[in-house]
Amino acid sequence: MLKIENLQASIDNKLILKGLNLEVKAGEVHAIMGPNGAGKSTLANIIAGKDDYEISTGNIELNGEDLNELAPEERAHNGVFLSFQYPVEIPGVSVTNFIKTAINQTRKAKGLEDMPAKEMLKMIREKSELLEIDRKFLSRSLNEGFSGGEKKRNEIFQMAMLEPKLAILDETDSGLDIDALRIVANGVNKLKSKDNAVIVITHYQRLLEYIVPDFVHVLYDGKIVKTGDASLALELEAKGYDWIKEELVQ
């Protein structure tokens, strides 16, 4: 599904990604862990198409299509979803109207008519129940005055509504208490299928107890330096990153 080869990218002339390779197949869950400043969020933003970054070499392909050529909305139409580490507050736009606009614009891009209002309402009801979101919450301005947990739940609610092929969860667990974490993880698990894939970016093992990864990658200094199964996350939790740095030196 996603294939990244030798990706090098910089921001303000500072090289962040230094030849990153990653392949994610449909039906897989990949976790990306690594110390602060390793380039995890940069990778997420580049896949989503944020234009602050300069890509010097490398390819990003989604189902064989070169993502570098596409605007962020076109990537979204092709099924890329990024759950933001810091979701943006948009005063004056309600959660409901935002998601309606997002869905209908995506349908429009695919040559489809607007989703009938009744169907939309039904879907909103189902997905908000899945994420245990109060109906009143949906008429509030997007992310404005939301708690950290509400923001993250709202991200996964939007993911549930948009049904992406590739979902990237950028530190979706940060700021969540244990109940919210369980709700969010449960939501993600319900959406998992053999046709889509999830990339979980996290610092902590605890989210991976709920969303069990097929692969765990360590991103360090702009490269993926180690890949393992779910047990690697446990090892990182117990030992930190120093041993990996030492391994690299050797």
Partner 1 sequence: MELKDKLLSSYVAFENDIDTNSDIHEIRSEAFQNFEDLGFPTKKLEAWKYTSLNSVLKQDYSIFPNKENSIQLADVQKYFIDDIDTYKLVFIDGKYSSFLSETTHDTFDVCLMSSALAKPKYKAVIENYFNKIAKKDNLTSLNTAFANEGAYIYIPRNVEVEKPIQIINFTTGSEAATMLQPRNLIVVEQNAHVQIIERHQSLTSNPVLTNAVTEVFAAKDSTVDIYKIQNDDKTASLVDNSYIEQKSNSIVSVHTFSFGGNITRNNLNFYQRGEHIDSILKGITILEGKQHVDHHTLVHHIEPNCESHQDYKGIYNERSTGVFNGKVVVDKEAQKTNAYQKSNNVLLSDKATINAKPQLEIFADDVKCSHGCTIGQLDDDALFYMQQRGIPEKEGKALLMFAFANTVLESVKIPEVKQRIAKIIANKLNVKIGFDL
Residue ranges binding partner 1 (CB under 8 A): 48-50, 71-73, 75-77, 80-82, 84, 87-94, 97-99, 101-106, 109, 141, 158, 162
> Which region holds residue 175: left if phi is over 0, alpha if psi is between -120 and 50, else beta?
left
| Smallest separation (angstroms) from partner 1 to the CB of 218 | 26
* 64 versus 91: smaller Cβ distance to partner 1: 91
Looking at the DSSP bridge assignments, the partners of residue 11 are: 14
| Smallest separation (angstroms) from partner 1 to the CB of 229 | 30
Asked whether 9 and 55 are in contact (CB, 8 A), the reply is: yes
| Smallest separation (angstroms) from partner 1 to the CB of 248 | 33
* 90 versus 248: smaller Cβ distance to partner 1: 90
Question: Which residues lie below 8 Å from residue 238, measured CB to CB, with a gap of 6+?
Answer: none
Helix (H, G, I), strand (E, B) or coil at 224: strand
Cα 149 to the center of its chain, rounded Å: 16
Query: Token match 């923001």: residue?
Result: 151
* 77 versus 182: smaller Cβ distance to partner 1: 77
* 113 versus 242: smaller Cβ distance to partner 1: 113
| Smallest separation (angstroms) from partner 1 to the CB of 245 | 33
The DSSP H or E segment spanning 32 is strand 29-33
Q: How far is CA 46 from CA 15, 42, 70, 202, in A?
A: 13, 6, 11, 17
* 108 versus 239: smaller Cβ distance to partner 1: 108
| Smallest separation (angstroms) from partner 1 to the CB of 6 | 25
